Amino acid sequence: MHWHILGAGSLGCLWAARLAAQQHSVYLIMRTANALAHHQAHPYVALSDPQFLHTQHYPVKAQLAEHPQPIKNLVLACKAYDAQAAIGQVAHRLSSDSLVILLQNGLGSQQAVQSMLPNTRCIAASSTEGAYLAAPLHTVFAGQGHIWLGDIVPSVTASAPAQLASLQAAGIPCSWATDIAPVLWRKLAMNCAINPLTVIYNCLNGQLRHYPAQINTLCDELQRLLCRAGQATAACNLHQQVWDVIDNTAANSSSMRQDTLQQRRTEISYITGFACAQSLALECETPTLHTIHRQLQKTLLEQGLPTT
């Protein structure tokens, strides 16, 4: 099967390596001619385990967005803030027979991409896998996890696409969700409850134990927002799961804090930004959420990082 992967970063290379290992034809869509030339000198992606005991190289091809080849299966593996621009560059290569899998965290970018591609089946992914780049085109599989996949526009008649079996056969641990919205909203709420505060207090997840009142109030508001958004099932036991994650990942630095410490743009607009916009649109009062969003913007500004 042919797979195009737009975004040769941490997750893009992880998906590319596993598909190439199963003899799929994998094409990375590179951002620049320089990046393409770099790849052509060594046409592989490398995949290492967290301890760097094993590093395997897998052959993949690469091309630029303007390449004329039609795209049948696309994995969009860029950050949420790049998703629309990236899709805009390859939209002419997609058709109503294409499948697009969106790996972006948070909410908002998936719906924006689907609206740019009204005739193409777009599938949102919610992934708990962890990866980072040790070098360009060399990804480290830092954390095992699971991926839920589901149609952005659910339809009672649509079943899982045939490509799901190929992904599973390639060792990508994914399952089909007939309704992906609760999965995405639940993850959004978890991210809103944990990530911004780890940036504001510049702390590890476990150190959030020092702020129980603020976190419980925030969870109350997020629960109300989820219910108002028609996602009552995603709101169940939110407080308990937030505290469980804080305890179980006590020594971890959240992805948003890692981005900030490494002077990288965060996905704030698709996490607290999206939640705040929804709370206004749905007239659901969430004062603590809004305060945390503003504090997060202030912290990012102080560090010279974008606030959107």
List of residues contacting ligand NAP (CB under 6 A): 6-12, 29-31, 65, 77-80, 82, 85-86, 89, 103-105, 127, 129-131, 133, 267
Residue 134 DSSP code: E
Q: Which is nearer to ligand NAP, 10 or 231 (CB)?
A: 10
Q: Which is nearer to ligand NAP, 19 or 30 (CB)?
A: 30
Output the smallest distance, CB 184 to ligand NAP, in A. 12
Q: Which is nearer to ligand NAP, 67 or 224 (CB)?
A: 67
**Which sign, positive or negative, has the C-alpha torsion 10, 15, 19, 25?**
negative
Tokens of residue 58, six digits: 């897998």
What is the rounded CA–CA span in Å between residue 172 and residue 15?
8
Q: Which is nearer to ligand NAP, 2 or 265 (CB)?
A: 265
Select the residue whose beta carbon is closest to ligand NAP and give its number: 9
Output the smallest distance, CB 267 to ligand NAP, in A. 6
For 20-43, the DSSP string reads HHTT-EEEEEESSHHHHHHHHHS-
Contacts of 150 (CB under 8 A, 6+ apart): 123, 124, 176, 177, 178, 179, 180, 181, 183
Q: Which is nearer to ligand NAP, 132 or 221 (CB)?
A: 132
Q: Which of the following is catalytic: 61, 72, 79, 187?
A: 187
Output the smallest distance, CB 287 to ligand NAP, in A. 27
What is the rounded CA–CA span in Å between residue 129 and residue 140?
11
181-200 vs 238-248: helix axis angle to the nearest 10? 50
Output the smallest distance, CB 153 to ligand NAP, in A. 20
Strands 130-135 and 138-143: antiparallel
Annotated active-site residue 187? The verdict is yes
Output the smallest distance, CB 28 to ligand NAP, in A. 9
Annotated catalytic residues are 187
